[in-house]
Chains A and B, each alone.
Chain A
């Protein structure tokens, strides 16, 4: 079946540094990818929609200058957390639909756990 892979699985960084998380669709092309974050004991919250070849669409309250999203190819989207701070520590998850219809299933990456010291 379709697979979505994230890298890294976990990362620890110092406050003020930037961290890049990659999301790849391994056996299908994804014109759209979705980025979520999840704080402990909470549900997934949609951050942004990544569109290949165009600007990402951010949800209300998500700073687009802090969470840079690039979807340069049909199999790769990246999320860069710029100038990370401890409050950015979270579980970041990407998702990609293999089709263009809402009738199909979505595939999720394994998640990337970011810890900012």
Chain B
């Protein structure tokens, strides 16, 4: 299985700040990576697919980048509604695997 190492596990940031979440994979996944966020009590929601493509309806302050085994999600100008847990997921190999998650809180 491809191992997903996501960091940091938790993050505290202020409104308007830029935050970055990293995801490292145990082997090359050729940009077959998605990012999701999950607000408390809700289902996960797709933010980014194919490492850097913005999903429909997702605000442009979210962006993804990376290649090979290193990927990142950036949130510009943090808003209160961005408080959530964030997960990366690879879909290059079966079984699909998820990162352990990053809990983003407001400072």
| B is a partner of A | no
